[in-house]
Amino acid sequence: MASRVILYGPLSGARLLASTCRTIPKMRNQPSSDMAAFKEVFKSARHVVALTGAGISAESGVPTFRGAGGLWRKYNAQDLATPSAFLANPSLVWEFYHYRRDLVLQKSPNLAHQALAKAEDCFEKEGKRFLVITQNIDELHQAAGTKNLLELHGTLFKTRCTKCGDVAVNKDNPITPALGGRGAPEPNAPDAAIPVGELPRCKKCSGLLRPHVVWFGESLEPDVLTKATAELDKCDLCLVIGTSSVVYPAAMFAPEVSARGVPVAEFNLETTAGTENFGFHFDGPCGTTLPLALDI
């Protein structure tokens, strides 16, 4: 896995920016849905990496902001998750993220989150390795008890100063008084137009804070990407859970693992752009299929 796409965003010609021009192999398999066969593979695995996306948290009531549900007010949610949107209107972007923080704080991990945490515990007791690499920023994996976790896209509950770069944990709700009662998602809700001086500020230098998340067009943190690559290079089983397999760089992880002969099992409501590369595919809610597959 020497080559790596590091810009975060949906697959398109503009997104295929890599250190070398490498094409992900298209295996065009017909994945198996044989649960008994998968359980045998899982039982013999010693280093499992689970890749999770928005679909796993959707079952906890967290919006995916994709497809028909991709709007917040009248705005395309993906258009707000950009550096240029924050530069142009930090008040609006902070309203959007306040809405997301407030909503997630009211949600709980579901059976799929819990199954992954329990699997990690079981593997640890047997001297084996189980790690979750998530594209989600909601911290529901931590709430379920997962300890071995890499957050590719950051978290809603950390901030980063745009002036001094300080990163800090912050679960205050609201994060600043001016955002209290703001962030309503309805199309007719007025924008708050909060003065920049009343938006979240750095405790060290008073600079403007931003959410410590990876926005579209930004690079993933190099150390996180390096750790993810190392885990994927060593794993002997990869689980793909609730992810659409269209957002890079995560979309290329599992196909590359599969290309080196490692079993990959996908758990999703439907087939995805990556399904044909995988050995197993299980249709249905992750909260139903995953606990069954992992015998949790």
3-state secondary structure of 287: helix
Report the relative pairing of strands 129-134 and 47-52 from DSSP bridges: parallel
On whether 238 is known to bind a ligand per the annotation, the reply is no
On whether 235 is known to bind a ligand per the annotation, the reply is no
Whether 215 and 25 have beta carbons less than 8 Å apart is answered as no
On whether 21 is known to bind a ligand per the annotation, the reply is no
On whether 164 is known to bind a ligand per the annotation, the reply is yes
Separation of alpha carbons 281 and 195, rounded Å: 49
Separation of alpha carbons 266 and 262, rounded Å: 13
> Exactly one of 98, 113, 141, 153 is catalytic; which is it?
153
The DSSP line for 166-179 is: -EEE---SSSSGGG
3-state secondary structure of 130: strand
- Among candidate residues 142, 205, 200, 208, the one with its CA nearest the CA of residue 173: 200
Q: Which residues of 241-251 are buried (b: 16+ CB within 10 A; e: fewer)?
A: bbbbbbbbbbb
Look up 141 and say whether it is catalytic.
no
Helix, strand, coil percentages (3-state) for the chain, rounded to 5, are: 35, 20, 45
Separation of alpha carbons 153 and 41, rounded Å: 30
> Binding-site residues, please?
161, 164, 202, 205
Residues belonging to the binding site for Zn(2+) are 161, 164, 202, 205
Name the residues annotated as catalytic: 153
